[in-house]
Copies of this chain bind each other. A is one copy, B any other.
């Protein structure tokens, strides 16, 4: 494209900075795993990415912004995947499939998801991101419940309210158990699935 006008901004095409930016986020994820949010210092991230603190502040305004970007990157993958996923129409299968996907999700992104949950309170930006993600799940759960015969609505015994509670149950259960072994995660998943089934009125 000879007549290509970049006009402005780094978004032209793969500047050096884009690579660095990714390197920073990757390093951040690694350090997050190794020593946790509090202990991780901006200097550590910079060093890990092969630059100095000063250079890092060219890309991100603060430590929080770095982590927010990391969470955003991860969460967008989730949204992407959930948009693609087809909805099975038989409730029992839908529930089983959903729990299987959830296990994969936490196996792959457990660390970042835990961090997102931890920082939801202190970093409003991350809280917003995570809320939107949770709402996706709640809506999906509610849809399954309704298809299984639970009355729609937000009253305590209706689909929306129950979906919200079930979502928190799953989130918290996986949050805890994903810090342990994968076997436990599978077990916990089965338990959640069972409660979800029973709540949908699908008792054996």
Within 8 A of B (CB), among A81-140: 118, 121-122
Cβ A122 vs Cβ B38 within 8 A: yes
A contact patch SS = helix
Cβ A176 vs Cβ B187 within 8 A: no
Q: Is A169 an interface residue (CB 8 A)?
A: yes
- Closest approach, in angstroms, between the C-beta of A162 and any C-beta of chain B? 6
Q: Is A161 an interface residue (CB 8 A)?
A: yes
Copies of the protein in its oligomer: 2
Given A118-B118, A195-B199, A173–B168 Cβ distance below 8 Å?
A: yes
A192 to B164, CA, bound (A): 10
- Closest approach, in angstroms, between the C-beta of A161 and any C-beta of chain B? 4
A192 to B162, CA, bound (A): 8
Which B residues touch A176, using CB under 8 A?
168
- Closest approach, in angstroms, between the C-beta of A41 and any C-beta of chain B? 15
Which B residues touch A166, using CB under 8 A?
169, 195
Given A118-B118, A121-B36, A187-B156, A168–B169 Cβ distance below 8 Å?
A: yes
Interface string of A172-185 (1 = CB under 8 A from B): 11001000000000
Q: Which 7 A-B pairs have the closest CB atoms?
A: A169-B169, A156-B190, A168-B172, A172-B172, A161-B191, A156-B191, A157-B194
Question: Interface of A with B (CB < 8 Å)?
Answer: 36-38, 118, 121-122, 155-157, 161-162, 164-166, 168-169, 171-173, 176, 187-188, 190-195, 198-199, 201, 203
